[in-house]
């Protein structure tokens, strides 16, 4: 009977765990719908802004039309913006993006470059610290309602490292952002994008040429639009990462729920077999005792 009690307790514990994973999966599904809407809503603005910046920069042969676009002759410092999650239980979401960041940091250090890290998400910052890498700036993952505050803070930090306001020597000569791109609810891809020096979007070779007219002049427009475009890229990365985290968590929790159900079924079958065996043993003992009394 002791074995039966142990199995019954295990079944109860797994059922409680299944309730938790089911609830977490449902919450992730509900939040994912809103997150997908945010990504979809932000996409047209980001694409149109990229087209405007591209048109401005394509109007001249001079690549360094703005300090934020000017490439450095030598790269001595590299900035890494790592976007992860604040919590776990989301499959390989955090591990995959952190692995990509560690590989990039290792390559830069092998080349003799200093690395400055901006981490959005506690899990990524913790993983880097565990691997002996200093995190210079930390941010928690924002919600859809306050994502712009984090975007502006990260953009200010990245711009300050690349182009100090006081004219001091820049800390970094190039800035990358590493995050999970939300392809769909089942596919999330680790993506690495160069933010600074700012690189305009590629021109569609099949698109008809357009001769833009600028008012005011092109330099003034770029000085205003490039910081906005930089924030737009960071916002896109954060929104994609938030959606990817929720999709990964939903998949992981649904898988955990299915595994728990399967384990409960196996334990229930084992419990029934053990109970049947115990009942059969008791009946045999009763019959054996009755026969002994008759004899």
Q: Is residue 86 domain-resident?
A: yes
Q: Is residue 282 one of the residues assigned to a domain?
A: no
Query: Does 132 map to a domain?
Result: yes
pLDDT tens digits, 187-246:
899 999 999 998 766 555 555 555 566 666 777 778 888 899 999 999 999 999 999 999
Q: How confident is the model over 149-166, as pLDDT tens digits?
A: 999 999 999 999 998 887
pLDDT band at 3 (very low <50, low <70, confident <90, very high): confident
pLDDT at residue 51, as a whole number: 81
pLDDT at 56: 77
Tell me the CA end-to-end span of the chain in Å, nearest whole number. 30
* Residue 24 in this model has a pLDDT that exceeds 90: yes
Q: Where would I find the H helices in the chain?
A: 2-58, 93-110, 122-130, 147-162, 218-294
Residue 237 domain boundaries:
25-201+218-251
216 preceded by a cis bond (ω within 30 of 0): yes
DSSP for 228-291, written as a single string: HHHHHHHHHHHHHHHHHHHHHHHHHHHHHHHHHHHHHHHHHHHHHHHHHHHHHHHHHHHHHHHH
pLDDT for residue 214: 63
CATH code for the domain in which residue 239 is found: 3.40.1380.10
Q: Distance between CA 92 and CA 120 in Å, rounded?
A: 17
Tell me, what's the pLDDT at 225?
86
CB count within 10 Å of CB 152 equals 14
Domain assignment present for 146: yes
230 dihedral zone (left: phi>0; alpha: psi -120 to 50; beta): alpha
The closest of 225, 264, 51, 229 to 151, measured between CA atoms, is 229
242 falls within a domain = yes
- Active site residue: 78, 90, 97, 222, which one? 90
Residue 90 catalytic?
A: yes
Kindly state whether residue 141 falls inside one of the protein's structural domains. Answer: yes
What pLDDT, in 10s, does the model give residues 27-83? Answer: 999 999 989 898 888 888 888 888 888 777 766 555 556 788 888 888 999 999 999
Per-residue confidence (pLDDT) for residue 1, from 0 to 100? 52
Q: Which residue has the higher pLDDT, 147 or 145?
A: 147
pLDDT at residue 223, rounded to an integer: 81
Q: What is the pLDDT of residue 295?
A: 57
Contact call for residues 84 and 248 (beta carbons, < 8 A): no
Between 270 and 210, the higher pLDDT residue: 270
Most confidently predicted of 126-135, 180-189, 221-230: 126-135
Asked if residue 259 is part of any domain, the answer here is no
Buried b (16+ CB within 10 A) or exposed e, 250-267: bbbbbebbeebeeebeee
Lowest-confidence pick of 126-130, 179-183, 185-189: 185-189
Any domain includes 167 = yes
Number of domains in the chain: 1
Residue 253: pLDDT over 70: yes
pTM comes to 0.85
């Amino acid at each position: 009977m002791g074995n039966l009690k142990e199995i019954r307790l295990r079944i109860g514990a797994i059922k409680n765990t299944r309730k938790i994973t089911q609830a977490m999966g449902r919450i992730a599904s509900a939040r994912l719908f809103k997150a997908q809407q945010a990504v979809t809503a932000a996409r047209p603005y980001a694409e149109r802004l990229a087209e405007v910046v591209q048109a401005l920069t394509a109007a001249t042969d001079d690549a360094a039309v703005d300090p934020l676009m000017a490439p450095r002759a030598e790269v001595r410092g590299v900035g890494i913006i790592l976007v992860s999650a604040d919590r776990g239980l989301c499959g390989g979401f955090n591990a995959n993006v952190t692995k990509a960041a560690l590989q990039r940091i290792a390559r830069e250090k092998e080349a003799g470059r200093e690395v400055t890290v901006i981490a959005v998400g506690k899990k990524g910052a913790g993983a880097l610290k565990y691997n002996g890498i200093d995190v210079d700036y930390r941010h928690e993952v924002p919600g859809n309602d306050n994502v712009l505050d984090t975007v502006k803070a990260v953009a200010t930090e990245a711009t300050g490292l690349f182009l100090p306001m006081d004219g001091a020597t820049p800390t970094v000569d190039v800035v990358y952002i590493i995050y999970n791109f939300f392809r769909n609810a089942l596919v999330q891809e680790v993506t690495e994008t160069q933010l600074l020096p700012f690189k305009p979007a590629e021109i569609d070779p099949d698109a008809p040429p357009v001769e833009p007219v600028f008012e005011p002049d092109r330099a003034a427009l770029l000085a205003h639009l490039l910081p906005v475009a930089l924030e737009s890229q960071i916002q896109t990365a954060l929104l994609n990462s938030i959606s990817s985290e929720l999709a990964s968590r939903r998949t992981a929790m649904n898988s955990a729920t299915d595994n728990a159900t399967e384990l409960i079924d196996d334990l229930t079958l084992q419990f029934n077999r053990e109970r049947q065996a115990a009942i059969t043993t008791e009946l045999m003992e009763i019959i054996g005792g009755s026969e002994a009394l008759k004899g």
